[in-house]
Structure 1
């Protein structure tokens, strides 16, 4: 799934991640940075490792791509994804 506008996220070691804006604004911190005009060419995330940032992007993509409906199957799938995601990534933090 691809959207029209992209945002560049740059982590502490200078690695860049090009992300669809709709995915990038899932975390409110990044959404507020964009709204406040702090996102000229790239949003710096100096305290975030590549491993963590890639996991956050994965999580945000899943939430954007899952239909926002009352469909029980979609809600159950997202709830299961979130549970497994948090459970599997406790070692990453």
Structure 2
């Protein structure tokens, strides 16, 4: 596994064979993946046999946005507005952003909700 800028990268493999490389902090946002990492199942990447690439990519995107928002929130000690930059999609109010993100994330059909809950 490669490390970029000192950040550990975790390889996730979906049930349909697609591989995703994500920062460990992003992967740890998923409770299921967190347990697999904590149990040291990461030597050859994590094989998620019950998760297809569509669902896994949705989860990775969701987790990545949560990590970005947490980073933005902790970097703002005064709680003031944050200047946006080209690499961040998180607005000045991370808590409100996450609330909206969570609400929109679950606006999918029941089958997709079930699949998302597995991850």
TM-score range, shorter chain: 0.7 to 0.9
Corresponding residue number in structure 2 for 1:85: 105
* Structure 1 unmatched runs, 5+: none
User: How far does residue 3 in structure 1 lie from its aligned partner after superposition?
Assistant: 6.1
Partners of 1:90 and 1:73 in 2: CA distance: 29
Q: Does 1:7 align with 2:27?
A: no
Of 42, 45, 51, which residue of structure 2 is paired with 1:48? 51
Q: Distance in 1 between matches of 2:47 and 2:16?
A: 10
Note the aligned Cα RMSD (angstroms): 2.2
Q: Does the aligned pair in 2 maintain the 1:10–1:43 contact within 8 Å?
A: yes
Q: Secondary structure at the match of 2:106?
A: helix
Q: Rg larger in 1 or in 2? A: 2
Q: Select the structure with the greater relative contact order (CA < 8 A; seq sep ≥ 6).
A: 1
Q: Which of 64, 67, 79 lines up with 1:64 in the alignment?
A: 67
Unaligned runs of 5+ in 2: 80-91, 113-119
Aligned residues between the structures: 91
- How far 1:50 moved relative to its partner? 0.7
